[in-house]
Amino acid sequence: MFQRSWMKVMVCLALGLILAATACHQSPQSETKALAPELNLERVRFRVWRGAELRARGEAREVRIRRDTTETVATELRAELPRGGTPVTVTAPAGEGVLSASTFSVQGGVILTRGDARATTDHASYAQGPDGTAQITGDAPVAVARPGFRMNGVGFSYDLATDVLELGGPLEAHYARSGSR
């Protein structure tokens, strides 16, 4: 009888200690949930679709994506935006954005090319409107060049649907006649 009472007390005490120990210790599973999950990818090739339409394709040396917020950071970025027969190509040393919001900005010396036209600026942003139209904009000085023609301005807006580039002022234009220096 004495032995049974003592066993009951020991079992109850052991169970109490175990419950107290597990209640005081945070489980590894909940620690994992507290950390923001992130994907780190190298030498990435990507394609962006909207329905059946290919909106962009390109590559980046490194891409880091937060799964919880879709915030994205990329380095050595090159993107091609198919537009009719002549795509728009954007290259930049670095970029960041939010995938779920369809916004992205690039910086560090941005080059936009379409056919024989080339625009350069320090930074630019891509945003897609609710109607699906997209624009590339910037507020830094920009230089646009084509064979025989060069124009400088401050700020720009490029509408991808209409293929219209608007430069902000003050503007400076240089035109060379064919065959002249």
- For the chain, 181 residues long, give each residue's pLDDT as a single digit of tens: 444 444 444 444 444 444 444 444 455 555 555 556 898 999 999 998 888 988 889 999 999 999 889 999 999 999 998 877 889 999 999 999 998 888 899 999 999 999 999 999 999 998 887 777 788 999 999 999 999 999 999 999 998 888 888 999 899 999 987 655 5
Structure token digits, residue 69: 């917020």
Contacts 24+ apart (CB under 8 A), 58-65: 60/95, 63/39, 64/38, 64/39, 64/40, 65/38, 65/39, 65/41, 65/99
pTM for this one? 0.72
pLDDT at residue 53, as a whole number: 86
Q: Give the chain's count of helices (H) and strands (E).
A: 2, 10
pLDDT at residue 44, as a whole number: 94
Q: Which CATH superfamily is domain 36-175 in?
A: Lipopolysaccharide (LPS) transport protein A like domain (2.60.450.10)
Hey, where are the domains in the chain? 2-33, 36-175
pLDDT at residue 20, as a whole number: 44
